[in-house]
Amino acid sequence: MKFILILMSFLQVSHTYAESRVCKTNADFDLLVRSLNLYYLDSGVYPTQVQSLEALVSETSNGVKSLHFPKGGYIGKVPLDPDGEDYYFEVIESKIGHVVVVWSDSNPGLFDNKKCKSELVSITRKKA
């Protein structure tokens, strides 16, 4: 009987841990996409792959002074995914606007042995 109670407790903790990882990843994706879109609204361009997400933290990462760059940056620091790995982004320009993709290559599943990509896509329409 004790074994069953211990097992049930472990499974509940494991499930809660997995849910917290997903919640953190979703919150990070939301923060990064919103910050990238604010950067675009202020500067008219998205950061480049070379600048990376650090362009959201420090104005000097892009080498260009901006009158619109907020004091303290768009974010205080670039978050890491739940495994301590970096997030990445890509901006794809289309006829209707921009597609912003943010992803992490870490494994978001607690019991999943294969690596899988988590990503969030945001579409920003061009002004008419």
**What is the predicted pLDDT for the residue at 114?**
39
pLDDT per residue as tens digits for the range 79-126: 999 889 999 998 988 888 888 888 887 754 433 433 444 555 666 665
Q: Looking at residue 10, what is its pLDDT? A: 56
Q: What is the pTM of this model?
A: 0.72
Cβ contact 50:41 at 8 Å: no
Strands (E) in the chain, as ranges, are: 87-93, 97-104, 118-125
Residue 72's pLDDT is 85
pLDDT > 70? residue 42: yes
The residue-averaged pLDDT of 21-31 equals 86
> Residue 28 pLDDT > 60, yes or no?
yes
- What's the angle, vertex CA 74, arms to CA 72 and CA 79, rounded to 5? 100
Of the chain, the percentage scoring pLDDT greater than 70 comes to: 62
Looking at per-residue confidence, does 113 or 55 come out higher? 55
Which domains are delineated in the chain? 2-125 (3.30.700.10)
pLDDT over 90 at 59, yes or no:
no
- Distance CA(27)–CA(29), nearest Å, equals 5
Q: What is the C-alpha to C-alpha distance for residues 88 and 101, in angstroms, rounded to an integer? A: 8
Q: How far apart are the first and last CA of the chain?
A: 67
Cα distances (angstroms) measured from residue 6 to each of 9, 11, 20: 5, 9, 21
DSSP-based three-state secondary structure for 102: strand
Note the pLDDT of residue 13: 56
